């Protein structure tokens, strides 16, 4: 019998970008102490552009559609994401977890489950299939969903075109690793150049439905014992401080 690791399962209501990023960071810091993983699902209360850790703030002008929207800088790398009609997941693993030290293995384990669940959700869409990306980008467009990296989840439509539907990024610290990613359920009016699952298949997947379907399969694949939970008082206070002193500050957002 395989020993399962206790893992906090947290399904949060929509919130602003600064709070969403602060909670992920607070959970990453806490994993170093508790040694327990956290699987979290959340949404965004309004359209928000998140910049990758290494992106320059000035590059925001490359996407004119989101210039009037909120902006936040992520702890993770990668390209900018316009968060709107999506479900976001985050998985925080302590350094002691077998997958914490293997970047590609962690991506693959999570994305393999996502492909299975999403494929099941669009079963009624003829000739539409999810697959992992093998054709990598030669350039780095501003937006994450216009880039191609190994393991990205693409949706192949009947016209043989492939559209990126899931993009994930990681941040490692001494005590653990954070992997979070966006599942593009539908097109945002702020980023009409990026069709979502609904536009490509005609099927609307509700984020609430997906956040209920994914945990069991992810837990089985990652050998986790899920324990439904909410932010503790201590973690909430930690996230509030991180939000105030970091993600709401121009010094962080405009740091590059």
Q: Is 7 known to be catalytic?
A: no
**For residue 245, what pLDDT band results from cuts at 50, 70 and 90?**
very high
Task: Give the pLDDT confidence of 52-105 residue by residue, as tens digits.
Answer: 999 999 999 999 999 999 999 999 999 999 999 999 999 999 999 999 989 899
Domain boundaries in the chain?
5-253
- The DSSP 8-state label assigned to residue 75 in this structure reads S
Q: Which residue has the higher pLDDT, 22 or 101?
A: 22
What CATH topology corresponds to 5-253? Answer: BirA Bifunctional Protein; domain 2 (3.30.930)
Residue 140, token pair as written in the block: 């780095």
Strands across the sheet with 153-156, in order? 129-132, 153-156, 162-173, 176-184, 86-94, 38-42, 5-11, 224-228
Is residue 91 within 8 Å of residue 5, measured between CB atoms? no
pTM for the whole structure? 0.95
Query: Is the dihedral angle over the CA atoms 161, 44, 177, 254 positive or is it negative?
Result: positive
Residue from 7, 128, 133, 144 carrying the catalytic annotation: 144
Task: Give the pLDDT confidence of 100-134 residue by residue, as tens digits.
Answer: 989 899 999 999 999 999 999 999 999 999 998 98
**For residue 254, what pLDDT band results from cuts at 50, 70 and 90?**
very high
Is residue 80 within 8 Å of residue 69, measured between CB atoms? no
């Amino acid at each position: 019998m395989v020993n399962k690791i206790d893992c906090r399962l947290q399904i949060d209501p929509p919130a602003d970008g600064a709070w969403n990023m602060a909670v992920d960071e607070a959970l990453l810091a806490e994993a170093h102490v508790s040694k327990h993983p956290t699987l979290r699902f959340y949404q965004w209360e309004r359209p928000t552009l998140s910049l990758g850790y290494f992106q320059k703030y000035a590059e925001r002008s490359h996407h004119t559609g989101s210039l009037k929207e909120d902006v936040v800088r992520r702890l993770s790398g990668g390209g900018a994401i316009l968060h709107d009609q999506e479900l976001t997941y985050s998985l925080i693993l302590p350094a002691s977890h077998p997958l914490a030290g293997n970047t590609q293995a962690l991506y693959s384990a999570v994305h393999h489950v996502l492909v299975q669940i999403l494929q099941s959700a669009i079963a009624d869409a003829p000739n539409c299939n999810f697959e992992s990306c093998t054709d990598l980008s030669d350039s780095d467009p501003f937006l994450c969903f216009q880039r191609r990296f190994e393991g990205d989840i693409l949706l192949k439509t009947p016209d043989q075109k492939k559209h990126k539907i899931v993009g994930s990024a990681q941040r490692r610290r001494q005590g653990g690793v954070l992997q979070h990613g966006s599942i593009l359920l539908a097109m945002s009016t702020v980023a009409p150049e990026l069709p979502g699952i609904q536009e490509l298949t005609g099927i609307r997947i509700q984020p609430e439905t997906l956040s209920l379907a994914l945990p069991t399969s992810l837990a089985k694949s990652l050998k986790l014992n899920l324990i439904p939970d909410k932010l503790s008082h201590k973690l909430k206070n930690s996230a509030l401080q991180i939000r105030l002193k970091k993600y709401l500050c121009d010094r962080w957002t405009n740091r590059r």
